[in-house]
Structure 1
Amino acid sequence: MSEKQAVSLKRCREQHRIHKNITDWRKTQLYRMSKSVESVLETIDSARCVAVEITNKSSYPLTEPVTYHYSGRLSSPPSPSINPGESGICVFIKTPYTACGTVGVLTYKFSNTQISLLVSNPYDYSKYSIEYALYVPDRTIATDSNLYTKMYNELTESPNFTKTSLGKGNASLNIRKGNVVISATMSNEKKAIVKVDIRDA
């Protein structure tokens, strides 16, 4: 084999290796995307948790996620972006060995504003109920303790904000902002699931 043929063969093998790595990565990503939020939650060992699944059926990408935790922490972080036609999952859990639940806010940038989701799965159901809320402000704002306080204690029902306490039942949330409709449901369980659907109006 000539030196030229050897170089050509080496190049072909390298290209094949790169192609295989890309193919394997794509298969892994597709596998992760195909996993349901229910199957993800089955792997979580926590007395209080909230798994959030966001499905983007709109024409706009969701980007730059930020979380704030009043109580608890993340077990699985949010997807860096959720493009049209994709879904993303993240999981909030309580801090181990504490008598506290998991309470926090998840925000994604969206067009020229943001979508903020408040989730609260308390430790003591005799004092508190499971709650969740949607907020789409007129402009982007920081996802911090101030936003949490506004969503949990201060804001009232409006075209931009909606919140519900599940109690012994269940209720969906809906907001229409411009050409987009955001809908959400939440299960009333110790290992709760929130499903958010974003679609063009």
Structure 2
Amino acid sequence: MVYLYFTADTPVLVLKQALWRCNHTRETLSSPQDRRKRTQHCCLAQRGHLTLKVKMPETAEAVSATLTTNRNCTIEITNVSGSYCLINPKVYMSSGFCQHPPQPTVRPTKTEVCSFTKDGNTATGAVGLLTYDLFHMQSRVCSDRMAIMFSVPFDHNLYKNRLSVGVVETSRACDKHLYDQLYDGKDLSNFARSETSGGGLEYQATYVDLRATMSSIGKAIVKMELYDKMGR
């Protein structure tokens, strides 16, 4: 069994099967008598659990630097909301594929990073859609779905990077239909869209606000923040 607990500065991975292991001798202490004896004679014995530090999430810039293609998109999501947790991520790719998958859960005050890149040896871009369900922690209900559409085209002479963010019903699937609506749909009631030059983009939903930016280069970075609606 493996589980996590959190200290003030870092999460700690706990291995259940490693209980009562001496950090000095690496000896497994199976009986209560052995545990008492080792604890008395080895100052380095750690009663309870063997703990391992877990590496914290990298920044979007650090993840982007690892991508080897010339057309990719790295998305950094920061959950500033105190009411909502992001769960159940879904991805639809019109072009390219997911390189670093989205985190299953983005808890309040946390920042997570994922990335998408073009197919190798092809004149294509990294274009797709990422959605998360908005889980309201007090009512324990998912009533809305957050959507991020990103487009990093192969030919920047003809096209610009494009970004859309919005909130739709949970009944809306993360698919080509929703992607098409966010990419060039005429009805902007559920999302905001822009061809990016590094400027900001904001969408105000009923209960949350989304704020995002996207760089204009081929190795694009998107930074998005989720806020509780002001005054609620």
TM-score (norm 1): 0.85
SS at match of 2:121: coil
TM-aligned CA deviation for residue 98 of structure 1? 0.5
- Distance in 1 (CA, whole Å) between partners of 2:162 and 2:30 is 66
Q: Counterpart in 1 of 2:155? A: 124
2:25 maps to what in 1?
Answer: none
The CA deviation string for residues 72-110 of structure 1, in whole angstroms up to 9 with x for no partner, is 001100000001111111001000110000000000001
Cα deviation, residue 16, structure 1: 5.1
1:59-74 correspondence runs (5 A): 59-74=83-98
**1:106 equivalent among 130, 148, 152:** 130
**Counterpart pick for 1:177 among 183, 188, 205:** 205
Name the count of aligned residue pairs: 186
The yes-or-no answer on 1:32 pairing with 2:51 is no
Q: Distance in 1 between matches of 2:150 and 2:30?
A: 60
For structure 2, the 5+ residue unaligned runs are 1-28, 39-44, 136-142
Question: What per-residue deviation string (whole Å, max 9, x for no partner) do you get for residues 11-56 of structure 1?
Answer: 688x959722xx31xx21xx332x2111111111111110000000
1:94 aligns with 2:118: yes
In structure 1, what residue type is equivalent to 2:183? Y
Residue aligning to 1:80: 104
> Among residues 54, 60, 65, which one is paired with 1:42 in the alignment?
65
**Structure with the greater alpha carbon radius of gyration:** 2
Query: By percentage of residues, which structure has more helix?
Result: 1
Whether the 8 Å contact between 1:51 and 1:89 is mirrored in structure 2 is: yes
- Which residue does 2:188 correspond to in 1? 157
Secondary structure of 1:142 counterpart: coil
Q: Give 2:9's aligned residue.
A: none
Q: Which digits, 9 at most, give the CA deviation of each residue in 1:90-145, with x for residues without a partner?
A: 00100011000000000000131110000000001111111010121144310011
Which is richer in strand?
2
AA matched with 1:55: T
Q: Distance in 2 between matches of 1:54 and 1:60?
A: 13
Range 145-154 or range 88-97, more displaced: 145-154
Residue identity in the other structure for 1:163 = R
**Separation in 2 of the partners of 1:71 and 1:51?**
15
Give me the TM-score of the superposition, normalised by structure 2.
0.74
- Secondary structure at the aligned position of 1:75 is classed as strand
How far apart, CA to CA, are the structure 2 residues paired with 1:81 and 1:18?
Answer: 28
Note the C-alpha offset of 1:6.
Answer: 6.4
Contact 1:117 1:134 in 2 (8 A): yes
- Any stretches of 5+ residues in structure 1 without a counterpart? none
